[in-house]
Amino acid sequence: MNVKDALLSRRSCRGFKPDTVEKGTVRAILETATHAPSWANTQPWEIYVAAGDALERLRRTYIDTFKKEVPRHPDIAPPKTWPAGQKQRIDELMKQRQDSISSTGANPALIRRMSESNARFFDAPVVIYLCMDRALAPWSLFDLGSLAQSIMLAAEERGLGTIPAVMLAAYPELIRAELAIPDQLAIVIGIALGHLDPENPMNKFRAERRPIDAVVTFKGF
């Protein structure tokens, strides 16, 4: 698989099969991905991987916390407001996704379960958490973004699905307690990883991308 194919085939997987992913496979993905560039080779990332019993315990506490309607409080705070363009695209995404799910004829119980899928980590068998020292400046978040994309592309090459989601880092105290992540590290993002379930209604929708002419301004060509 070349880079273009990996970029175009990668998608945010919102429903995984129960099949396990071997530790050696995850390790190989991370060994490849950590060749991502970083400012002055600082390599600011610290990576924690949850699977098996540890992930199931975390999943249960997450679902319980979510059902109690505890507000999300990730270490990296989200924007207080979205600029108009971004807000419009968020609203369009939510509507299109809901329409896609409704069109499958899913029953109310399934729709309710899908609404909780974020808190269940999309039933993924593996979640990769990317962390960085709290002393670092926001610029290092760029480096972790580069690492995250590298992880997702390396997984795509191996036929595995992924999704980076802020909800996976929404309750950092639960993650910290289960994975023994020190307080000095901010939990930046979680990436769920596993085998994509093509029958899951959540995976039958694919978000659109803005046309390149609406994104890029060229000068001097």
133 burial type by CB count under 10 A (0-12 exposed, 13-18 middle, 19+ buried): middle
Where residue 94 falls among pLDDT bands split at 50, 70, 90? confident
Vertex 139 angle, CA 73 and 137, to 5°: 65
Q: What is the pLDDT of residue 98?
A: 75
d(CA 147, CA 65): 29
Query: For 69-87, what is the mean pLDDT?
Result: 93
Give the whole-number percent of the chain exceeding pLDDT 90: 80
Query: For 93-109, what is the mean pLDDT?
Result: 70
Is the pLDDT reported for residue 74 higher than 90? yes
| First CA to last CA distance, the chain | 31
Q: What is the pLDDT of residue 104?
A: 61
Is the pLDDT reported for residue 47 higher than 90? yes
User: Nearest-CA neighbor of 128 among 110, 112, 97, 152?
Assistant: 152
Where residue 157 falls among pLDDT bands split at 50, 70, 90? very high
Q: Is residue 192 part of a domain?
A: yes
Question: What is the distance, to the nearest Å, from the Cα of residue 203 to the centroid of all Cα atoms in its chain?
Answer: 14
Q: What is the pLDDT of residue 52?
A: 97
| Torsion of the alpha carbons at 164, 165, 168 and 172, rounded to the nearest 10 | 100
109 or 41, which is more confident: 41
Domain with 23 in it: 3-78+119-203
Q: Is residue 142 part of a domain?
A: yes
User: Nearest-CA neighbor of 121 among 209, 47, 207, 49?
Assistant: 49
DSSP E strand stretches across the chain: 46-51, 126-133, 161-165, 185-194
Q: What SS3 class is residue 133?
A: strand
Where residue 95 falls among pLDDT bands split at 50, 70, 90? confident
Q: Is residue 197 part of a domain?
A: yes
Q: Is residue 108 part of a domain?
A: no
Is the pLDDT reported for residue 174 higher than 70? yes
CATH number, domain containing residue 197:
3.40.109.10
Is the pLDDT reported for residue 106 higher than 90? no
DSSP E strand stretches across 5-154: 46-51, 126-133
Domains in the chain, number: 1
- Interacting residues of 38 by C-beta distance below 8 A, sequence separation 6+: 44, 45, 140, 143, 146, 147
The percent of the chain in helix, strand and coil, each rounded to the nearest 5, is 50, 15, 40
Q: What SS3 class is residue 111?
A: helix
